[in-house]
Structure 1
Amino acid sequence: MKKIALYVLFAVFLLTSASVISEPLKKIIQPIPDYSTLQKQITSYLDEQPGVYGLYFIDIHSGQKFGYNSRTVFHAASTFKVPMNLYLYRAADNGQLSLTEQLTFTDQHMEGGTGILQNKSPGGSYSIEQLADYSILYSDNVATNILLDRLGKQNVKDFMRSLGGQVVDNKQNSTCPYDLALYMQEAVRLADQPAGERLFNNLLDNKLKDRIPEPLPPEIKVANKIGTWPPTNTYNDAAYVDHPKRPYILVVTSKDTPGYSEALAVIHQLSEQIYRYQTNRAT
């Protein structure tokens, strides 16, 4: 009888302990989110759109991800400036260059499109840090050309491959949604380091917010970099969305679209749909 009583007491202890431990564990162990429904909805939507679109999504907390045409080749346009800056700041951290080093703007660097240096006359000198800022904040093409002369385009391309880039061409400025998500993920990872923090803050503060950030609530911070290539009606955006409970990376690329306004409407639809899905999951 004593043995039975001891067994009963031990069983009660185990049951009581399990009930005490289970509550904290419930808070720590969250179910893995299922994005299959969202992925099907997005696939159906993009299949119906004129032109070619690509997409890649990463949920920061769970690591869950999905894509659409995720390794299809697209023109990178100015999204290339993200891995270029990653390489630049890593080189600075390794002592291979100084951010205060002065570089000269020459005739060969001149290029139109976006940026503020296109309105300046060649001959001026700018620090690497200032040029890096311009390349992200204003998507400055002249600043990018000056930096690439110093960094070496081949070095940047090799660096992109070292991060896991799948679509990297030594001659063409090409990419894919998967690769752009990798580069943005690396920018987020380095955000708590001195040089990485500067790049991330530039991505947050950049002046071109017409795509993924535009339809979201104004209080939501978005670190992003767009890319535009008119010859192929390409409109891209790679972004980190600081959702209050479910932050995520979203990349949308396009080509052969009817035009800017049509592509913009598609990007807005995708951005709003994914933000809403994250919000509903978090409530």
Structure 2
Amino acid sequence: MTLYGMIFSICFFLIVSFFFSPHTVDYANETESSEKIRIPVKKTAASVVENTKAPEQESPEMTAFYHKVEQTMTNGAKSFNGDVGMTYVDLATGKQISVNGTTEFYSASTIKVPLAMMIADKVQSGSLKWDDQLIFNEKEDYEDGTGIIINDIQPKYSLRTLQEYSITYSDNIAKNMLYDTFGGDVEAKKALYAHFLQKETEWDDAKFTSEDAAKILKILYKEKATNPEYQTIYDYMKNTVFHERMDTPTTSGKVAHKIGSYAGFLHDIGILETEQPFILTVFTNGQTDAGIPFIASVTDQLWSVQSNDYPKK
């Protein structure tokens, strides 16, 4: 064989070995596999961009409407001789407007709403049952103030009864007995703050802002459609015996609310059932009973704005 023939044979052999060797096939499959892995990553990235896309711009009519809501709240706050924190949430759009929304107030009995929600969650998880009998402990559970248990204290009560009394009658003894299921009031408050507000508490008597309360009511409103126990809490709030503050002649029968009172701290948090429902949380700290008519007045004003000025579709 000539020298050129030998060179041609060697080259031909190398070419054939390259294309048909196992290494070539493995490399091709690895590349294909890598491309397949990258596909869902690209889809995830696109999905993230879509989820963080800026919301649609408000119409001029909605902007003007929300400005009127804000002005109503601002003017109301200026008229009150004391401290005020207010938050409004349009449940149709999620729009939130606050005046001093991050100012902290002693929570008083408004804390009974997230407590009831935590009890309902415990029942759903199976750690409690509604027919469980809780024993009254005078040292731990007795408390003066609102409620009906104080008038005829029994040795024990069902969990369901305590849940209803805590919201409907704002019963303080019922509240304390519900706290016992967490190991006491401090542990209960820590648990509900971490669960609903992603906050820690370092004080015995936890504080709320109007925005904290609005966040809790948004959860209650959103989940009550699929959570019968949250719906029951909502119904207790609608049927409360306290017909004052957000429960006015204008809103009667169309508001689910929970009042809170302690010294000059007079609050109310509620969901108002206008054609376009909205949340309103009002916290006050003023002289004597000044917060009661103030909350009623602000509620009626915002009810009127929401009912008469909300832009029609």
With normalisation by structure 1, the TM-score equals 0.82
Aligned pairs for 1:51-200 within 5 A: 51-108=82-139, 109-121=141-153, 124-152=155-183, 153=185, 154-164=187-197, 168-192=201-225, 193-200=227-234
Residue by residue, what CA displacement relative to the aligned partner does 1:121-158 show, whole Å, maximum 9, x if unpaired? 3x521111110000001000001111111123324423
SS in structure 1 opposite 2:309?
helix
Partner of 1:224: 257
Partner of 1:252: 282
The whole-number CA distance in structure 2 between the counterparts of 1:249 and 1:240 is 5
| Kept in 2: contact 1:167–1:176 (CA 8 A) | no
Structure 1 residue 210 corresponds to structure 2 residue 241: no
Mind listing any 5+ residue stretches in structure 1 that lack a counterpart?
1-28
1:66 Cα offset (Å): 0.5
1:175 Cα offset (Å): 0.8
1:170 Cα offset (Å): 4.1
Residue by residue, what CA displacement relative to the aligned partner does 1:22-55 show, whole Å, maximum 9, x if unpaired? xxxxxxx994722123213421331232110110
1:237 Cα offset (Å): 0.2
Partner of 1:33: 62
1:182 Cα offset (Å): 1.1
1:59 Cα offset (Å): 0.4
Residue identity opposite 1:119 in structure 2: N
The whole-number CA distance in structure 1 between the counterparts of 2:234 and 2:308 is 27
Structure 1 residue 278 corresponds to structure 2 residue 306: yes
Residue by residue, what CA displacement relative to the aligned partner does 1:250-273 show, whole Å, maximum 9, x if unpaired? 000011x1221x222211221011
The whole-number CA distance in structure 1 between the counterparts of 2:270 and 2:231 is 16
Residue identity opposite 1:208 in structure 2: F
Higher alpha-carbon Rg:
2
The whole-number CA distance in structure 2 between the counterparts of 1:276 and 1:270 is 10
Identity %: 25
Change (3 A) 1:272 1:168: farther
SS in structure 2 opposite 1:180?
helix
Instruction: Give me the CA root mean square deviation.
Output: 2.0
The whole-number CA distance in structure 2 between the counterparts of 1:241 and 1:207 is 17
Partner of 1:239: 270
Q: Pick from 256, 263, 270 the counterpart of residue 291 of structure 2.
A: 263
The whole-number CA distance in structure 2 between the counterparts of 1:251 and 1:161 is 20
Mind listing any 5+ residue stretches in structure 2 that lack a counterpart?
1-56
Structure 1 runs of 4+ off > 6 angstroms?
Answer: none
| Kept in 1: contact 2:167–2:236 (CA 8 A) | yes
Residue identity opposite 2:230 in structure 1: G
Change (3 A) 1:85 1:169: farther
SS in structure 1 opposite 2:122?
helix
The number of residues matched between the two structures is: 248
| Kept in 1: contact 2:267–2:291 (CA 8 A) | no
1:164 Cα offset (Å): 2.4
The whole-number CA distance in structure 2 between the counterparts of 1:41 and 1:267 is 13
The whole-number CA distance in structure 2 between the counterparts of 1:90 and 1:280 is 38
Change (3 A) 1:224 1:101: same
| Kept in 2: contact 1:138–1:206 (CA 8 A) | yes
With normalisation by structure 2, the TM-score equals 0.74
